[in-house]
Amino acid sequence: MPKGWRSTTLIPVITLLAFAVLPHLYNNQFLLFNMMMYMALAQGLNIIYGYTGYLPFGYVGFFGAGAYGGALAITFLHWSPYLAVLAGGGAAVLLGMILIPLFRLSGAYFSIASLAAAEALYYVVANPGLEPLTQGPYGISLPQVYDPNGAYWTMLAILLFSLIISGVIRRSRFGLALSAIRESPLSASMSGVNVVKLRSISWLLSALIAGLAGAAFGWYISVFYPETVFGLGIGVFTIVFVLFGGIGTVLGPMIGTLILYGVYNYIGISTPEYFQLAYGLLIMILVLFLPNGLVSLARKRGLNVA
Amino acid sequence: MSPDAPILKVEGLKKHFGGLKALDGVSFDIHAGEILGLAGPNGSGKTTTINAITGVFPIDGGEIHFGGNAIHRLPTFRRVRHGINRTFQVPRPFPALTVLENVMVAGTYRSERKSDPHRILEDLGLAEHADRPAKSLNSSQQKMLGLASALATSPQLLLVDEIGAGLNPEELSGMAARLRSYAAQGMAILVVEHLMDFLDRVTDRLIVMDAGNTLFTGKLQQATQDPRVIEAFLGG
Ligand SMILES: Nc1ncnc2c1ncn2[C@@H]1O[C@H](COP(=O)(O)OP(=O)(O)O)[C@@H](O)[C@H]1O
Ligand SMILES: [Mg+2]
């Protein structure tokens, strides 16, 4: 196996072992669940931001769409929660398709427009007029499928899926073409790359992962409100974890999540509002001074980072 | 398509930027294996001609036929996959990717005419830099990398935009020899160039543009005696 592929395989294997064993050593399953969730979201965001350079501030919209998509499949179609998680992924992909025209915008305009789209979806879902469908502001409750263990293992599967997709992209010609798009869309098309198609595929993969994670989250907590799953906090955390760890790699978002979500849980739980502020500032500092994240420091020292 | 039909046929090409007519009805042909020079003062529309042929922006009038097919509505990547490529006047590599990766991006397509990135780098003297990020190359190396990327899509039509500028005399002769050898293998080449001396070494057929119009088409030797051409170069 070539060197690069070995580390690409190693990361999912270690992750699988760690999250399979940890619940037996540590009794806060919800924290472990959230850790996996943020790791998956970080990989998902990395696929669109790390490779193509488009940073959707409204990435949480896919998460919320997934949570509601899954919940509606359970409530109205009486699907099993496992199928409902897939439905959540599908709902996010659908939303992603609707939002593809946003790519006509560049840079910051794209980022802000995606945020506006996520906010708009939040207001639609939370609208009391939609109570028969979404329960509006009163929230969703899914007691009939309550099963934290089932949701835990599902989230682990989603995380592994995101790691495998991310690893394959990193090592494939598809990933190389995506990196070319990030560096210069014009030169990429001059190299024969179908920029619109490849960017859309990575966008939808990124949406899919967030949608699956959102649906599994909704299942795990089984009672949630629009602001729980469309809250900007989830989006800010995901962005800061990816930026901190390092974009365009598989390992970077994992390390970023491990450290920053770890720190947050260690000292931040009691004062979450300060953390959102602190992490918001951290995003600005990272973009300005360490745009390629922690792993870029390792790479500067000659280490080959997966 | 008859064997002596031109591979590229440009007819009445128009492009305006706001009120500025950058191209105002430009027409010419190129045959396979031929090198055509395109000269003209700064701002006369040479780069815009290349941009129009490669689909960097939509044109406002005229037609472009390549290999007998109308291509002027196709997106850039399709034109590239049909066999057109170009270099940029100011090189536009993928800065963070390595030299080899830069060429590999292009090598992914046109599966029916696969190119070998390593061989291309070897031929252009970039092999020893293969693993360096493109942004670390000096400007003449970046020009070579631009040519390498274009060649990696195995073009039948190559448009080169002032590739001679900034090269030393030795590099210039190397470049002239290289372009002639590509043409000898059947590639059609449009050489946009300021340096008449360089054009003289690669072709004897020339177009001269001024303010979006073709001033002159014919033998290079005659161009240098044509009063309108002299006027455009000296008066422009
Ligand atoms: N993208 C653009 N937007 C606006 N004006 C442009 C653009 N590209 C070229 N022009 C203008 O069109 C004219 C022709 O430019 P160009 O084709 O680059 O000339 P050159 O013959 O020096 O290559 C110039 O006046 C230039 O300023
Ligand atoms: Mg020019």
Pocket test residue of B16, B20, B59 for ligand 1, highest count of atoms within 8 A of CB? B20
Q: Is the pLDDT of residue A6 over 70?
A: yes
Q: What percent of chain B has pLDDT over 70?
A: 94
- Calculate the average pLDDT of chain B: 91
**Pure H helices in A78-194:** 81-99, 107-126, 131-134, 148-171, 173-183, 185-190
Calpha distance A65→A226 (Å, rounded):
10
Name the band, by pLDDT with cuts 50, 70 and 90, for residue A1.
Answer: very low
CA atoms within 13 Å, Cβ hemisphere of B174: 10
What tokens were used for B189?
């080449």
Q: Is the pLDDT of residue A4 over 70?
A: no
Interval B67-85 mean pLDDT: 95
Q: Is the pLDDT of residue A306 over 60?
A: no
Cα of B56 to ligand 2 centre, how many Å? Answer: 14
Q: Is the pLDDT of residue A248 over 50?
A: yes
Q: Report which listed range, A130-139, A186-195, A294-303, is most confident.
A: A186-195
Calpha distance B162→B96 (Å, rounded):
24
**Complete DSSP assignment for A15-36:** HHHHHHHHHHH-S-HHHHHHHH
Q: Which residues line ligand 1 (CB under 6 A)?
A: B 17, 20, 22, 40, 42-48
Q: Whose CA is nearest to atom 27 of ligand 1?
A: B43
Q: Which atom of ligand 1 is nearest to the CA of B50?
A: 17
Identify the residue whose tokens are 């979006």: B212
Q: Whose CA is nearest to atom 7 of ligand 1?
A: B17
Cα of B45 to ligand 2 centre, how many Å? Answer: 7
Nearest to B43 by CA among B89, B92, B93: B89
Would you list which residues of chain A are within 8 Å, Cβ to Cβ, of chain B? 173, 176-177, 179-180, 183-184, 186-196
Q: Is the pLDDT of residue A230 over 50?
A: yes
Calpha distance A249→A229 (Å, rounded):
27
Q: Is the pLDDT of residue B53 over 90?
A: yes
Per the CB < 8 Å rule, is A193 touching B95?
no
A15-35 core/surface letters (b: 16 or more CB in 10 A; e: else): beeebeeebeeeeeeeebbbb
What tokens were used for A66?
């997934």
Q: Is the pLDDT of residue A98 over 90?
A: yes
Q: Describe the strand order of the beta sheet including B69-70 as a list of residue ranges.
A: B20-30, B8-17, B61-66, B69-70
**Model confidence over A108-162: pLDDT tens digits?**
899 999 999 999 999 999 988 888 888 888 889 999 999 999 999 999 999 999 9
Name the band, by pLDDT with cuts 50, 70 and 90, for residue B236.
Answer: very low
Calpha distance B131→B119 (Å, rounded):
15
Cα of A72 to ligand 1 centre, how many Å? Answer: 55
Pocket test residue of B16, B47, B51 for ligand 1, highest count of atoms within 8 A of CB? B47
- What's the predicted TM-score (pTM) here? 0.88
Ligand nearest to the CA of B39: 1
Per the CB < 8 Å rule, is B77 touching A194?
yes
Ligand nearest to the CA of B44: 1
